[in-house]
Amino acid sequence: MLTPKDTSRPTPRGKNPGRNREHNRRVVLDLMRRHGRTGRLEIARLCQLTPQSVTNILDELIGEGLIRAAGRRSAAGRGQPPLDYEINPDGAFTIGMELAVTRMTAVVVDLAGQIRRQSSVDVADMSPGAALPRIETLVRELSTDQQGRLMGIGVVMPGPFEIEGFSSVGPTTLPGWAGLDAAAELTARLGAPVVVENDANAVAIGETLLGDHLHLSQFGVIYFGTGIGLGVISSGALMRGAYGNAGEIGHVVAAPGGRPCPCGQNGCLERYASTHALRESLLAAGRSGDLAELDTAHPDADPVLSAWLDEAAAHLGPVISILENVLDPQTIVLAGGLAPDWLDAIISRLRLGTSVSRRSDRTLPRVMRGQSGVFAAAIGAAALPMHDAITPRLELSEVSPPRTEPTEPPR
């Protein structure tokens, strides 16, 4: 899943002698992850570190098994050609888990971003008392036979978190988790660092770290979980907001006076553009409400599915135009536990209005499908501890200014 030679994102600069050693490690690891096989002098040049600093860091990373020598390039001229280095996929791994209302999905991802194992189980009771022991069992099962060090565990669950009169409302949040420090509880049980994040944010991180979107640094991910959420990546980093709830678009009113929502409002986006709304449509049509029965259906072959896709796209289009004007993104990505055909069907049905994103020099579509597939949230969860360990913390360092594309007035 790595995209070699990504040069569109600014490479964070290292800091030379006597300064932030940890930062320099991250800068080198991040560069090697994005560029693939690289030589010592090239790393020094791109990271603006001295060759000696790079040698020290490479020695340290090789000692920890995180990178490895990758042979020499073919000889050109006299002398021995320099040695190349690359990320060692077996050096470390992370586990990502998605806790949804009735299902627990987990993946093991190696240091190179490849999925090593995946597992999905139906869980009738997702309250902490019932779910925590099952999480523990699943993590043990998945960790066996893995090489390298467990870097950490990412857990995603639907947001919003800790909003008075808002949290734990409705069928798209998990009961009993409000007020519980899930990260601390899980870290104590699992004996490895645990990061907890809402699903849309995790999927956005996953797309930057593991997907084919490594070259994107300014984008939004609209995630279809049980509800609907937005993760925003700005200058390569997640925009979390003051309380971790940035991007909670499910309860944005998309249809004033529309369907009542458990949050107390009418016409929330989630009441139309979510799999929960699709289930409701199926039940209203006298069907089981089980999305599995739709898995093989062509979107237009099933009238209920087709009608839901129309409705979801109709309510999503104006919200996307607002997001474009607010964020000025490179693109908006649709991702989540919907079949790729369904996501494509929503995209083809969108009627996007005029916004700052309507430009003739676009190289990417305004809206595109995510790369991480139906396991997007679990993969995103696995990306969280890796992101924490690898990605340079830009706010702690001097960085090259992000490249900006010229903005033209809307046409």
Nearest CA to 231 out of 143, 337, 333 is that of: 333
Q: Report in angstroms how near the CB of residue 265 gets to Zn ion at its nearest.
A: 5
Beta strand pairing call for 228-234 and 367-369 = unpaired
Per-residue three-class SS string for the chain:
CCCCCCCCCCCCCCCCCCCCHHHHHHHHHHHHHHHCCEEHHHHHHHHCCCHHHHHHHHHHHHHCCCEEEEEECCCCCCCCCCEEEEECHHHEEEEEEEECCCEEEEEEEECCCCEEEEEEEECCCCCHHHHHHHHHHHHHHHHCCCCCEEEEEEEEECCCCCCCCCCCCCCCCCCCCCCCCHHHHHHHHHCCCEEEEEHHHHHHHHHHHCCCCCCCCCEEEEEECCCEEEEEEECCEECCCCCCCCCCCCCCECCCCCCECCCCCECEHHHCCCHHHHHHHHHHCCCCCCHHHHCCCCCCCCHHHHHHHHHHHHHHHHHHHHHHHHHCCCEEEEEECCCHHHHHHHHHHCCCCCCCCCCCCCCCCCEEECCCHHHHHHHHHHHHHHHHHHCCCHHHCCCCCCCCCCCCCCC
| Shortest Å, Cβ 170 to Zn ion | 7
Place of tokens 């806790």: 99
- In this complex, which beta carbon is closest to Zn ion, that of residue 244 or of residue 262? 262
Question: Which is nearer to Zn ion, 228 or 334 (by Cβ)?
Answer: 228
Near Zn ion in 120-149, by CB under 5 A = none
Query: What does the per-residue mask of binding to Zn ion show for 202-241, with x meaning CB under 5 A?
Result: ----------------------------------------
- CB of residue 258 vs Zn ion: minimum separation in angstroms? 10
- In the complex with Zn ion, which residue's Cβ is closer, 56 or 265? 265
CB of 247 to Zn ion, least distance (A): 15
Work out how close the CB of 232 gets to Zn ion at its nearest, in angstroms, rounded to a whole number: 20
Stretch of 54-62, 141-149, 246-254, 399-407 contacting Zn ion, by CB under 5 A:
246-254
What is the smallest separation between the CB atom of 102 and Zn ion, expressed in angstroms? 21
- CB 338, min distance to Zn ion, A: 20
Kindly state the number of chain residues that form the binding site for Zn ion, as judged by CB under 5 A: 5
CB closer to Zn ion out of 268 and 343:
268
Which of 41-49, 101-109, 255-263, 377-385 is the region at the interface with Zn ion (rule: CB under 5 A)?
255-263
- Chain-centre distance for alpha carbon 161: 18
d(CA 235, CA 115): 26
Nearest residue (CB) to Zn ion, 261 versus 347: 261
Stretch that binds Zn ion, among 68-76, 83-91, 112-120, 245-253 (CB under 5 A): 245-253
**What end-to-end distance do the CA atoms of the chain give, in Å?**
36
User: What would the two tokens of residue 240 be?
Assistant: 């979390």
Nearer to Zn ion, 49 or 157 (CB): 157
| 106 makes contact with Zn ion (CB under 5 A) | no
Only one of the segments 18-26, 157-165, 250-258, 385-393 lies at the binding site for Zn ion (rule: CB under 5 A); that segment is 250-258
Q: By CB under 5 A, what part of segment 362-401 binds Zn ion?
A: none
Indicate the residue among 36 and 258 with the shorter CB distance to Zn ion.
Answer: 258
Residue 266 Cβ, how far from Zn ion at the closest point, in Å? 8
Q: Shortest distance, CB of residue 263 to Zn ion, whole angstroms?
A: 3
Q: Which is nearer to Zn ion, 168 or 265 (CB)?
A: 265
Minimum distance from residue 248 beta carbon to Zn ion (Å): 10
> For Zn ion, which stretch binds (CB under 5 A), given 26-34, 258-266, 306-314, 334-342?
258-266
Region for 196 from its dihedrals, namely left if φ exceeds 0, alpha if ψ lies in -120 to 50, beta otherwise:
beta
Binder of Zn ion out of 15, 34, 251, 315 (CB under 5 A): 251
**Sheet arrangement for strand 83-87:** 38-39, 83-87, 67-72
In the bound state with Zn ion, the residue whose beta carbon lies nearer, of 191 and 264, is: 264
Residue with smaller CB distance to Zn ion, 10 or 262: 262
Residues 261-290 contacting Zn ion, CB under 5 A? 261, 263, 265, 268
Residue 233 CB, nearest approach to Zn ion (Å): 25
Tokens of 227: 């509800």
Which residues sit at the interface with Zn ion, rule CB under 5 A? 251, 261, 263, 265, 268
